[in-house]
Amino acid sequence: MATATPKSRPQVRIKLRIKKGDTVQVITGKDKGKTGEVLRTLPYENRVIVQGVNIRTRHVKPTQEGESGRIVSEEASIHASNVMLYSTAQKVASRVEIVVDKDGNRQRRLKKTGELLD
C-alpha cells in the first residue's frame, strides 16, 4: 500500500518593488495608516517586516536554571500588497514605477510626487 507524500511547492521568488530601508505606509488591516521603515523583506513569501507595525507578543520560557521567563514583543511580517511606499518629504503614500534612463540604469520613482528613491 502506497502512502501519499505531500508534494512541496516550488520556491518562487517574487520581485518586490519595496526594499530594506524604505519608508512605507500600511494601507489596510488593523495597523492602517501607520508608517515605518522596512526592516526585512521576504521575497519567497511576498511579505515584509515593518518597524513598529504588526507587533506580536511571545512568551519565552526560561532556558537556564535561575533565569526567569519573559514576554518579548516583536514585529511579525505583513503582506507586501498591504503597504505602499511613503514620501517623508511630501507626507503622502504613492505607487512606484521603474524608470529607465538613457544609460539603461533602472530607478524607482514615486508616481504621485516624482521623487526618485535610488
- Does the pLDDT at position 3 exceed 70? no
What is the pLDDT averaged over residues 4-31?
88
Q: What is the pLDDT of residues 68-81, one digit of tens each?
A: 999 999 999 999 99
User: How confident is residue 4, by pLDDT bands cut at 50, 70 and 90?
Assistant: low
| pLDDT at residue 11, rounded to an integer | 85
Phi, psi of 17 (to 5 degrees): -95, 0
- Does the pLDDT at position 1 exceed 60? no
Distances (CA, A) of 75 to 9, 47, 86, 88, 92: 27, 12, 19, 22, 23
Cell readout for 78 is 505583513
Q: What is the pLDDT of residues 20-66, one digit of tens each?
A: 999 999 999 999 999 999 999 999 999 999 999 999 999 999 998 88
Strand partners, 78: 48
SS3 21: coil
Averaged pLDDT of the chain: 92
> 48, 74, 49: which is closest to 59 by C-alpha?
74
The CATH code that applies to domain 23-88 is 2.30.30.30
pTM of the predicted structure, to 2 decimals: 0.82
Q: Give the start-to-end residue ranges of the domains of the chain.
A: 23-88
Cβ density class 31-43: b for 16+ within 10 Å, e for less: beebbbebeebee
Pairing of strands 35-42, 92-94: unpaired
